[in-house]
């Protein structure tokens, strides 16, 4: 086979792109779009971030079960045993998750996030009841942070940053961004930033999990949840949009 002098030198790399990367990008990009991160939208950054959190309902679904668990367990701590009422705290926490899911089903609104949250809350509660250790109610969250952090970090190191796969799919260029040095660099550092967020949560919360300090652990989970998630979504959104200026600009 002879070489074609008119052949795009970047096409070989495009042809060699693993199909798996495109599938992952499509899956993650689809999830991002359903969460409100649509690049075709003319909404403000604040509105986009708010939609990505699910609005007031999403915030309540994310915060209230944990908040109720922490408050209930803390106020019922016995001065002698230094243990709170685990059963009551879990019943109220899981009960709230059930109510949120039921409301979504009744209103026929997308319930996948609420159902996923209910399953996670129920599984965490079951583990805590099985071990009798209240801090185990937060174990799945710690494991999730470790897995997400590792996935983002590894993807950046091997040259396929997850933010790039998501952004490329949303912006309609699949993996073509890998031929642009500027885009590769931005996507690399954005992915590193997300990995840093997950590992930061893990590093801060893990000592209190090991110490079975439920009150501090639960408080940190709330503080390092949406308050850190929202600004990083905003930064990511602005950085990606800057890579793809609109035609009128």
pLDDT tens, position by position, 129-176: 999 899 999 999 999 999 999 999 999 999 999 999 988 888 888 888
Using CB atoms within 10 Å of the CB of residue 216, give its burial: 0 to 12 exposed, 13 to 18 middle, 19+ buried. Answer: middle
Selection from 146, 147, 141 nearest residue 220 by Cα: 141
**Cα separation, 36 vs 53, whole angstroms:** 9
Selection from 45, 29, 49, 65 nearest residue 227 by Cα: 49
| Predicted pLDDT at 174 | 81
pLDDT tens, position by position, 164-212: 998 888 888 888 888 989 999 999 999 999 999 999 999 999 999 999 9
Whether the Cβ atoms of residue 90 and residue 129 lie closer than 8 Å to each other: yes
Cite the beta strand spans of 32-120 per DSSP E.
none
| Predicted pLDDT at 15 | 46
Whether the Cβ atoms of residue 166 and residue 175 lie closer than 8 Å to each other: no
Give me the torsion for CA of 225, 144, 150, 184, rounded to 10°. Answer: -50
Question: Residues 6 or more apart from 32 whose CB is under 8 A from it?
Answer: 166, 170
Q: Highest mean pLDDT range out of 7-16, 80-89, 94-103, 217-226?
A: 217-226
Selection from 189, 58, 208 nearest residue 133 by Cα: 208
Sign of the Cα torsion 229, 235, 236, 241 reads: positive
Tokens of 246: 């609109």
Checking if the pLDDT of 242 tops 50, the result is: yes
Give percent above pLDDT 70 in the chain. 80
Checking if the pLDDT of 107 tops 50, the result is: yes
| Mean pLDDT (whole number) for 69-75 | 94
Whether the Cβ atoms of residue 178 and residue 18 lie closer than 8 Å to each other: no
Band (pLDDT 50/70/90 cuts) for residue 110 is low
CA–centroid distance for 246 within its chain:
28
pLDDT tens, position by position, 203-236: 999 999 999 999 999 999 999 999 999 999 989 9
Selection from 247, 249, 235 nearest residue 196 by Cα: 235
| Predicted pLDDT at 100 | 86
pTM of the predicted model, to two decimals? 0.83
Whether the Cβ atoms of residue 25 and residue 168 lie closer than 8 Å to each other: yes
């Amino acid at each position: 086979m002879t070489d074609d002098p008119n052949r795009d030198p970047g096409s070989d790399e495009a042809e060699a792109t693993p199909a798996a990367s495109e599938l992952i990008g499509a899956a993650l990009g689809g999830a991002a779009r359903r969460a409100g991160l649509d690049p075709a939208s003319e909404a403000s950054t604040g509105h986009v971030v708010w939609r990505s959190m699910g609005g007031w309902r999403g915030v309540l679904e994310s915060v209230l079960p944990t908040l109720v668990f922490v408050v209930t367990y803390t106020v019922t701590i016995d001065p002698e045993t230094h243990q709170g009422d685990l059963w009551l705290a879990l019943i109220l926490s899981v009960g709230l998750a059930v109510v949120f899911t039921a409301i979504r089903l009744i209103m026929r609104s997308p319930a996948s996030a609420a159902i996923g949250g209910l399953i996670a809350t129920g599984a965490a509660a079951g583990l805590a009841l099985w071990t009798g250790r209240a801090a185990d109610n937060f174990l799945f969250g710690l494991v999730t942070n470790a897995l997400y952090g590792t996935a983002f970090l590894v993807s950046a190191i091997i040259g396929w940053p997850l933010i790039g796969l998501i952004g490329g799919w949303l912006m309609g260029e699949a993996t073509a961004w890998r031929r642009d040095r500027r885009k590769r660099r931005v996507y690399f550092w954005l992915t590193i930033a997300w990995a840093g967020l997950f590992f930061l949560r893990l590093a801060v919360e893990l000592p209190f999990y090991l110490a079975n300090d439920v009150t501090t652990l639960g408080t940190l989970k709330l503080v390092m949840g949406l308050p850190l998630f929202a600004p990083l979504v905003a930064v990511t959104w602005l950085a990606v949009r800057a890579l793809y200026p609109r035609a009128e600009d």
